[in-house]
Chain A
């Protein structure tokens, strides 16, 4: 049985995630952003997400974060110049500050989203439906999540098929590699279209949209802890924003 944050209703998790993301988007100060990120990480781990495993998995794209910070710094220079290249202010203190803030902001959104991943997508759909979101829309989101791994497999299969024909993608020039990738689009897209058509047919043969409404075997009920999480996260967020905008 799930207990603590793990056992929360997906709707209270969603409110928590929205509060954290809102703070991440609206706040500019990197000290406050760092604090929000730290809280997000603690909550994510407490909710039982595989946060560190995910960070490890995506370590290859971490350099992208550094690149974003530098690019942000180049395009919004201000303050003391740290790196000057031929009269162009490449990195400034103010620019770097904004770059770091951007990276922190993105991290908050991603880390807080991992809290949602601790609920299965059927629960999320049910939560949304009980919030009066149309079932078709909620279900569409859940199917997209379900079929993402299948699409990844499809891409891997097509890439393997190309490599088996003697093309070593790692050893050919970038321009040629891009050309090869453009050839992969057609089989991947057609495979995805066929799968989605088969899925739609299966759903129709199981009486999908037989009536304007449908019953749900699963029924989510909010507990006291859920209400507490919703009230506390909203109150803390509002207080933080008021303090940030009016007191700092």
Chain B
């Protein structure tokens, strides 16, 4: 059976650095699973995210060895737009993820790039906003939303591309308790719809939605035993 996401002996070193950030990471994420990866700052969590989503090596260069497979296809043999329809990523910083004057434009950006018909884009907009419970904000400006709401819009913008896999790169790190609850509810809803989710976290309080937790320490992935 082809797994949604597989990592085989992944090593990565940033350009000009003398040390590997990721050291032989092996990982298999099962369909519909919510996997959390925890670790201290500098342990390589975000780098792992970049590798999983194809940002490394397509956007950020460096020395990557090993393989990341999305539905059995190596990320190295796919282009970023191809990856975008299979795997979506929500980043930490809400402000640099939202660049359109209205929520509608923001969520429509991805499907517009895929050259979908206007009717199809309308349907995807409606579905994505409903999934994150932000339908009432459709014509509003992202600038006037709270941190949590901004992250929900960033998530809706990714969901409008209809990816099977979602990655949350410390998406709850800059938002208040109410925002965290909203994001966690959205994650649970997406899990119920069969989406495969990888959450990168450093806050252990956010792990209650995860089915499995792994610890990334100094670039090595290992079972989590309750302590970072």
Could you list which residues of chain A lie within 8 angstroms of chain B, going by C-beta atoms?
A: 120-122, 142-143, 146-147, 150, 195, 198-211, 213-219
Q: Given the complex, which residues of B lie within 8 Å of A200, measured CB to CB?
A: 59
Nearest CB of chain B from residue A49's CB, rounded to whole Å: 16
- Further pairs besides A150-B95, A215-B111: 15, Cβ < 8 Å: A142-B101, A201-B59, A201-B91, A204-B55, A204-B80, A205-B55, A205-B83, A205-B89, A207-B85, A208-B81, A211-B114, A214-B115, A217-B108, A217-B122, A218-B108
- Closest A residue to B158 by beta carbon equals A206
B80 close to A205 (CB less than 8 A):
yes
Task: Give how many B residues have a beta carbon under 8 Å from the other chain's beta carbons.
Answer: 39
Could you list which residues of chain B lie within 8 angstroms of chain A, going by C-beta atoms?
A: 53, 55, 58-59, 80-81, 83-85, 88-89, 91, 93, 95-97, 99-102, 104-105, 108-118, 121-122, 125, 157-158, 161
- Chain B, interface SS category: helix
Q: Given the complex, which residues of B lie within 8 Å of A198, measured CB to CB?
A: 91, 93, 96-97
Nearest CB of chain A from residue B186's CB, rounded to whole Å: 18
B53 close to A205 (CB less than 8 A):
yes
Q: List 18 A-B contacts (CB under 8 A).
A: A120-B101, A121-B101, A122-B102, A201-B55, A202-B91, A205-B55, A206-B109, A207-B84, A207-B161, A208-B81, A210-B113, A210-B114, A210-B115, A211-B81, A211-B115, A214-B112, A214-B113, A218-B108
Closest 5 CB pairs of A and B: A210-B81, A198-B96, A207-B113, A207-B81, A217-B108
B112 close to A215 (CB less than 8 A):
yes
B96 close to A199 (CB less than 8 A):
yes
